[in-house]
């Protein structure tokens, strides 16, 4: 599955949940997206939920901004860096992010970054339309 395919599919899942929560307050929506609740209520939202596993080792993990709004990608490649193709990067260059460098490719490794999973950050950037929050993420057309 390409980044673009995953991104679009994930956005549809998010929209379906948000439709269920349309009468909830911002705080109630953010609370609903807490990892423990999502595992119980939305088990198909993330493949890790089936094993009760988190993508980030953080006790208060919130999944509202899964697919960070600071993540930039292009399935065709963003640019060449030396003899490698950069496919993804962090637009804020998070100090907790890293790059996974392969033989001919570079991908952003977000595993150490918690920026979009903290409720304070989510509240600051909250929009009911996930695609509106994420509008700058996808570079692919």
Give pLDDT tens digits for 103-135: 999 999 998 999 999 999 999 999 888 878 776
Q: How many Å apart are CA 134 and CA 131, to the nearest integer?
A: 5
Residue-number span of the structural domain to which 111 is assigned: 3-133
Looking at the domain assignment, is residue 71 inside a domain? yes
Spell out a b/e string for 98-134, using b for 16 or more CB atoms within 10 Å of the CB, else e: eeeeeeeebbbebeebbbbbebebbeeeeeeebeebb
Residue 61 has pLDDT above 70, yes or no: yes
Residue 60 has pLDDT above 60, yes or no: yes
Looking at the domain assignment, is residue 139 inside a domain? no
* Dihedral, 43, 47, 52, 53 alpha carbons, nearest 10: -150
pTM: 0.86
Report the pLDDT value the prediction gives residue 141, as an integer from 0 to 100.
43
Query: Which CB contacts under 8 angstroms, 24+ apart, belong to 108-112?
Result: 108/71, 108/72, 108/73, 110/68, 110/71, 111/55, 111/56, 112/56
How many domains does the chain contain in total? 1
Looking at the domain assignment, is residue 15 inside a domain? yes
Q: What is the SS3 assignment for 73?
A: strand
Looking at the domain assignment, is residue 38 inside a domain? yes
Looking at the domain assignment, is residue 29 inside a domain? yes
Looking at the domain assignment, is residue 138 inside a domain? no
Looking at the domain assignment, is residue 140 inside a domain? no
């Amino acid at each position: 599955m390409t980044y673009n395919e995953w991104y679009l599919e994930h956005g549809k899942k998010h929209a379906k949940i948000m439709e269920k929560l349309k009468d909830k307050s911002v705080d109630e929506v953010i609370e609903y997206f807490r990892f423990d609740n999502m595992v119980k209520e939305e088990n198909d939202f993330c493949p890790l939920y089936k094993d009760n596993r988190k993508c980030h080792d953080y006790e208060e993990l919130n999944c509202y901004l899964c697919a960070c709004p600071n993540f930039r990608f292009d399935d065709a490649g963003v640019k060449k860096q030396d003899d490698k193709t950069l496919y993804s990067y962090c637009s804020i260059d998070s100090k907790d992010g890293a790059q996974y460098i392969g033989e001919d490719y570079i991908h952003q490794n977000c595993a150490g970054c918690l920026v979009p999973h903290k409720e304070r950050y989510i509240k600051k950037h909250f929009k009911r339309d996930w695609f509106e929050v994420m509008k700058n993420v996808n570079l692919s057309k």
